[in-house]
Structure formats: C-alpha cells, structure tokens
Structure 1
Amino acid sequence: MDHDAVARRGFSDPHDAAAGAEPHGLVERFHAVRRQTLALAAPLSAEDAAVQSMPDASPVKWHLAHTTWFFDRFVLQPLAGARSPHPEWDALFNSYYESVGPRHPRPQRGLLTRPSLDEVLGYRAAIDARLGDALARGTFDRDGLRIVELGLQHEQQHQELILTDLKHAFSLNPLLPAYHVHAPPRSLAGPLEWIGFDEAVVEIGAPVWPAHDAFAFDLESPRHRVLTGAFALASRPVTAGEYRQFIADGGYRTHAHWLSEGWAWVQAGQRARPLHWIDDAHHFTLAGAQPIDPDAPVVHLSYYEADAYARWAGARLPTEFEWERAAAGQPVRGNFADAGHLHPRGSDGTGLRQLFGDVWEWTSSAYGAYPGFRPMPGALGEYNGKFMCSQQVLRGGSCATPASHVRATYRNFFPPSAQWQFAGLRLAKDPA
C-alpha cells in the first residue's frame, strides 16, 4: 500500500463538527474526515485490508470503498450529467439500501479480491477530487449539503468499525499481531460511588435536523418528555477487575444471573469470559496481547453479559433515558480514538465520570422509535428506522469513536449477542 498520501495520522478537533453548518467549514471537514479514514488504513497491508473474520464484520477495503460509494451514489450522481467512475461496482459496495438496487451478500464481502486495494484507493481519490471541487464551487443547495454532512457522520461510524472489525480479525491470527505499537497504559479507577437522581419529567432526544442546525441522526429525534423515576447511577463503568470477581464467583456457570436467551447463548458457545480475553490475566488489544488492567473498564461484553453482571452485583442496567438525563449538560470529553490509546482506561476521580469515551454502555432499553419519529425521505430513510427490532441501545461512545461524532443524545444499537464492539456497562439501581 502506498503510504505517502496517508502518512498523516490523527483526528480533527472535536469542535470541527460545528463547522459543517457553513459550506467553507464543510469543505475542510470533508477532507479532514476522509484523511482520517485513510490514516486508519495506513498501517495495513493489502492482505490485512481484505480479510473478513465473521459475517458481522467487513474488510477494511470494503469500508474504504463503501464510504466512498455513499458520496458517489447519494451526493454526486444526483447532479446533472454526473456519472460514477465505476458503475459496475454499485452492487459490491451498497450495504443495505434495498431501494437503490441489488447488493453483494454481506457475509461474502471477504471474497471480493477484485477490485484491488489500489483500485479502491484510486476510487476514493477520484470521488474526493470531484466532491471537494463541487463543495468549493458552492454547487450544492441546502439539501445537498445536508447529505454531505450525513455522509461524514456515516464515515465516522465506519472509522470505528474499521478498528473493531480489524481487532476481531487480528485476534483470530495465532501470531496475535499488533495494529499499533502503543500498549495501553496502566490506569487507576477510583471507588465506585452512587449518584442519586430524584423522580422528574425530563426532555430527551435531539431537535429534528436539519430544521435545527446541530446535526443529529433521525433516530435521536424528536425531542420529547419522559418520566424517570428516582434512581442512582454508578459514578464510573464496571472495571475488568470487578468483572473478574463475577467470573471467579461462577458467573458463567450460574443460570440464575442470566436471561433465558443469554443462558442459551452462554451454553451454545461454551463461553466463560469476555471476548478477546486470552485467560484471566491477559487479553488481546490493538497493541497485541497485553496484561489485563484491572482498573480499566471491562470491554467487549454482550448485552447478555452486561445484564448478568448487573444482576449478580445486585443492581441493574440503566435505561437510556436515565443515562441521557445524567449526561445532559456534561462536557463531551473522554478517552476517544483521537487520544490514540484505542483501549479503555480507568479514571481515578470522584463524582459522575467517563460517560463519554472508553466503552459504549449497554442500557436496558430496546431500540425503538421515539414518539413522532420520522425517517429521512427517500433511500436514506433506510439508514436507521428499519433496524428497530431485536436490538439494544448503547450510549456514550468508546475509545474507538471519533470525539466529534458523539453527543448526549446519540443512540447506538446492536443485537444483544454482539461482543466485538468496545462495549461495557455502568450500573444503576432503584432507591432502597
């Protein structure tokens, strides 16, 4: 892979997202986000970029192409006289947009040895040049600029997926190769405290975008009122050391802690510890095999595991509304991908902390529509709404999430069995 064009690593300032409201700022943001994706791929060989380790993951090469296809198909092709440089690739890199046309089966993306990585990088360069020029010339109306911003938010989601999918693939290699050489630094976790909240009616969600200038996905809207009963929230996420106590106490052998579906999942997979744990003292990270830091948040848990731990601990998972109430007004600062650690860290402090970054936090809330939800018009309406079934909501972002991509209203969602994302948990409980 030619590293000359992608040697610059690092992430844009978290406040750059606000620049997307103005065309000039959007030009800069477009190029910054696109460079970030290339920077993530820079350390990889063509072989690294082509592997698909499971049906839920995708090759890095596919991520590079799909995020480019999004801009090609939804931003450039609607322009008069515009034509894709590779219309024959349309079905290869369409993810799930049924209304756009046929799609290559997701579990078979690793079979796409052609086009080559160099051809995909050439495709990116061509689309970047076309779209960058069109943005600079003021070609797009408000609707066009709105789709560009959506495409950038979409690409930032895929930046995180590049890291999680690659970590899963590397973990299956007996050599346990490192993606980067910076081992996660040891950390400290302060004592767990309980932060109390009284019963209240609270405003949840984001105003509908783009009627409101601040970006939010359609699934975050509309803003509405919710009653939350009195509750207490843990001051920090559960640590690996605390989760190790659950394992030692027979947590994976005691059916009483588990939901029925979760217990069947444990037995079917003969599971005994979180994903990427090699044994009770070591786990696989993006820096290769490393000792488990007992004070860092436990990570790579399924919803089943998070729920079982909470029951074992005499607590529960928070609802997404309780989580958002606690996070509202808090600064969006934390251990994000921008820091370069690419692994959770403990926080030796007091009070409510680590709501953003480190690990996505499972909630007890099923992923569904807010009252008055309206998907985006056209094919882009398939982006979120059609997945509102059999998924759980996660909040807060992770150590693999770009900082400028997250806000208190952000709703992530995955099936309850998903482990390969950087997901952990924070406990909640009801008043005594």
Structure 2
Amino acid sequence: MNLSEKYLSIRKNTEAICEPLQTEDYVVQPVVDVSPPKWHLGHTTWFFETFILLPHVPQYKAFNADYNFVFNSYYESVGARVIRTDRGNLSRPTVIDVYRYRAYVDEAMNNFLRCDFKPELLPLLELGLNHEQQHQELLCYDIKYILGHNPLFPAYAPENIERNLTNSQPGYVAVEEGVYEVGFNGGESFCFDNELNRHKVYVQDFEIATNLVSNGEFLEFIDAGGYQNFNYWHAEGWDWVRNNNINAPLYWHIVDGKWLKYGLGGLQALNLKEPLCHVSYYEAAAFAAYKNQRLPTEFEWEVASEKFKWGKLWEWTESAYLPYPGFKRAPGAIGEYNGKFMVNQKVLRGASIATPEGHARHTYRNFFHPHLRWMYSGIRLVAEGSKE
C-alpha cells in the first residue's frame, strides 16, 4: 500500500464509523469531554490542511479561512479557537459542508502524495495519520456517550465492535524483580513522543492477573456496599462519588430490579462474564482496595504484557502521566501534542476494542484524568509476591 492509498484508507475508516449516524447525531455535545462527531470530522481534516497543505503546497488555498478557528483543538501557536464547551453549538458549518471540506482536502492530499510529496515530511504525515486514528477511537467513545445519554437508548448498530469484548481465563502470572528496559525500542514504524526515550526501570516481584475484572466481580463490590464505604476510596475519589451520586459504572442501569447495560447495540441485560468497562481510576483503585490488591504501575504492565492477552480495554495503572528521562518537546505547534498534558493525569496501558487495527503497541501510553470513564477502560489487578 503506497502513501496515498494508506492516507485514503484511514480517512475512509473515519467516515465509516459515522455512517450509522443520523444527521442530528453529528452535532450533540452532552458534556465537555465529548466532542460532536461533526467536529471530529472537521478537526482531523484541519490537521492535514494546517500542517501539511498550507505550508508545503504553494498553490493550495484553504477551503474556508474560518475553519482554523472552528476546528483547532488546543494548539495555542496556531491561533484562536472555539472553546471546547462550545463545539456542540456549531450548527454551522453543516454536516454536508464538513464532508465537502474533507473531500476538498483529501483531493489535495492525494495529489500531493502522488506527485510532490517530500520524504522529509513523512514523520509529519505519520503523525497526522495516527492522530486521525486516535480520533477514530474517540469517535467511538463520543458516539456511545451521545446515544447512551439519549432517553430512548437508541442502538448505534446491531453489529459493532463490542461483540469482541470477551475475557480470558482467570489466573496470575509472576514477574521476577529486576531491572528492565521500557519505552519505544524502534521495532515498530511509529510511536508518539511520550513513548521516548527507552530507559531502565527496577520492579520488585509481583503477580498480575491474566484476565480483566469482570462485570460479575464488580457487581459483588456494589452489593457489598463498595460505593458507600469510604475506606476503599482515595479522598478525591470519595468526594467524586458523593458529589456526583455515583453508584455504578457508566452505562449501568437498574430496571425492574435487574441490572442492564447500555451498549452500542442498545440497552441489554448485564453480562456478568464480560470484562468490566467504563470505570474511572477512582473506581478501579477502590475495587483494588476492596480486593486487597492494587493496580499495576505502567512499567509493571509493560514488563508483564508479554505474559497475558491484552487489547480489549485500556487498563488503568497507578502511574502518573510524566515525561520519560530525556523527553523533549518538538519545536513549534507539534510540540503541543503530548507534553503539555503531563500533569494531573493517570496512565492507561494496552488498547481497546475501539483502537484501530495495527495502532496498538506495548509501549503506547494513553492518559486521562482520574474521574473520566467514557472511554473503554477496565481493571487488571496485581498481587504482591506469590498468590500461592
């Protein structure tokens, strides 16, 4: 697959995710963390126009000068932008306009990649493609949140990615104490800057679960009064539970005395064997305390990840999102991509059912604030020493 084919394939995948939507679904923004699907379609297009076409294709003319203001996300060095909470107020540009924008930019990118592309721009192109794939995953989160908070609980599509949400056999695998190398090792074609530099870490003996915590296991926590017992919670987590009246994972509902869960296929009976998902770090840490265990650090997770199956859900770790030794921000706007967020967030490792194929890797560092849970997030527990 050449660069043009790869570019167009990834771009089409984004539109395929949106295909089951109705026009009204494209504009909704229920909470600040959810962006309307229309905005995702425009923002990913803006990235290629702003960072590749405008600076490097002399004859290129911007589709609409106002779109830099509308679709810039957080790049301070690129100019003013619509504040995040107002993305849902953008009834204009219309959905049709945004798809026209995508077609316009795709035609220009296709011509550029076929005729005049410069090899030195390849890292920037790869970043743009991976950026689009990140937004494909975010689209899945946001679409589910939009539909899952509609009082009618409409289904996204009967056949969807959640059919792959299965668990492995229970058990634990041991990791011996020692010094290990973590971080991107150059064995794959791409990494984000926050996966650099590769460095040594020391870990003590531990055992890590081969499976993710299941819905049934977490229901035991609920039935045991886990959301009412402050002893299991960090202080901030306990405040979050009380201030927001949290008593179950996101998308769980009790109807006629039975637990149901909203999924992309609609509202269905809770499957006790499925891995638990859509929980915050606060809930993950509280459940670990309830089980007299803990979450892994991100380095423990990476060292042990060869020993168990992963990739169904992002997995909370105990690690704060911090730079690796020797980390440096890239110059210019691209330097704003990851480094500016290295504060007050927790690292999640692995991948999820919404992660585009080929995008997952052992060194991938996802990061979110501890209270967030609209992403596909789960729990894997660690036991100190031996489980025997």
TM bracket (short chain): over 0.9
Alpha-carbon distance in structure 2 between the residues aligned to 1:319 and 1:59:
33
C-alpha deviation, 1:354, in angstroms: 3.1
1:287 aligns with 2:287: no
1:425 aligned partner: 379
2:101 aligned partner: 123
1:301 aligns with 2:279: yes
Q: Which amino acid aligns with 2:99?
A: L
**Would you say the 8 A contact 1:92–1:103 is kept in 2?**
yes
What is the TM-score normalised by the length of structure 1?
0.85
The DSSP-based 3-state class of the residue aligned with 1:393 is strand
Uncovered stretches (5+) of structure 1, i.e. residues with no partner: 1-23, 331-351
1:276 aligns with 2:251: yes
Matches within 5 A, 1:239-278: 239-278=214-253
1:390 aligns with 2:351: no
Matches within 5 A, 1:100-249: 100-137=78-115, 139-182=116-159, 189=167, 191-207=169-185, 214-249=189-224
The DSSP-based 3-state class of the residue aligned with 2:66 is helix
**Would you say the 8 A contact 1:367–1:393 is kept in 2?**
yes
C-alpha deviation, 1:107, in angstroms: 0.5
Q: Which amino acid aligns with 1:44?
A: L
Alpha-carbon distance in structure 2 between the residues aligned to 1:245 and 1:182:
30
Q: Which amino acid aligns with 2:281?
A: Y
Percent identity over paired residues: 44
2:18 aligned partner: 41
C-alpha deviation, 1:52, in angstroms: 0.7
Q: Which amino acid aligns with 2:193?
A: D
Kindly report the root-mean-square deviation, in angstroms, between the aligned alpha carbons of the 2 structures.
Answer: 1.6
The DSSP-based 3-state class of the residue aligned with 1:69 is helix
C-alpha deviation, 1:185, in angstroms: 5.1
C-alpha deviation, 1:405, in angstroms: 1.0
The DSSP-based 3-state class of the residue aligned with 2:76 is coil
The DSSP-based 3-state class of the residue aligned with 1:281 is strand
Q: Which amino acid aligns with 1:73?
A: T
1:64 aligns with 2:41: yes
Cα deviation 1:197-229 (Å, max 9, x = unaligned) = 101111100147xxx872000000011111111
| Closer/same/farther in 2, CA of residues 174 and 74 from structure 1, 3 Å limit | same
| Closer/same/farther in 2, CA of residues 152 and 191 from structure 1, 3 Å limit | closer
Q: Which amino acid aligns with 2:200?
A: R
C-alpha deviation, 1:190, in angstroms: 5.4
The DSSP-based 3-state class of the residue aligned with 2:315 is strand
| Closer/same/farther in 2, CA of residues 213 and 191 from structure 1, 3 Å limit | closer
Cα deviation 1:15-47 (Å, max 9, x = unaligned) = xxxxxxxxx632221111001001011111211
**Would you say the 8 A contact 2:252–2:260 is kept in 1?**
yes
Alpha-carbon distance in structure 2 between the residues aligned to 1:376 and 1:240:
42
1:83 aligns with 2:38: no
**Would you say the 8 A contact 1:360–1:422 is kept in 2?**
yes
Cα deviation 1:263-290 (Å, max 9, x = unaligned) = 0000001111001001262110011101
Alpha-carbon distance in structure 2 between the residues aligned to 1:161 and 1:226:
31
C-alpha deviation, 1:173, in angstroms: 1.0
Q: Which amino acid aligns with 2:376?
A: F
**Would you say the 8 A contact 2:167–2:212 is kept in 1?**
no
1:355 aligns with 2:333: no
* Moved >3 Å (runs of 4+): 183-191
**Would you say the 8 A contact 1:186–1:293 is kept in 2?**
no
Alpha-carbon distance in structure 1 between the residues aligned to 2:47 and 2:167:
41
C-alpha deviation, 1:191, in angstroms: 4.8
Alpha-carbon distance in structure 1 between the residues aligned to 2:28 and 2:158:
21
Alpha-carbon distance in structure 1 between the residues aligned to 2:357 and 2:26:
24
Correspondence for 2:322 among 368, 381, 387: 368
Uncovered stretches (5+) of structure 2, i.e. residues with no partner: none
Cα deviation 1:46-96 (Å, max 9, x = unaligned) = 111111111111000000000000000001011224321111211100000
Q: How many aligned residue pairs are there? A: 381
Deviates more, 1:375-384 or 1:62-71: 375-384
The DSSP-based 3-state class of the residue aligned with 1:361 is strand
2:29 aligned partner: 52
Q: Which amino acid aligns with 1:110?
A: G
Alpha-carbon distance in structure 1 between the residues aligned to 2:163 and 2:179:
41
The DSSP-based 3-state class of the residue aligned with 1:154 is helix
Alpha-carbon distance in structure 2 between the residues aligned to 1:186 and 1:217:
26
1:347 aligned partner: none
Cα deviation 1:173-202 (Å, max 9, x = unaligned) = 111000001375598755521111101111
What is the TM-score normalised by the length of structure 2?
0.95
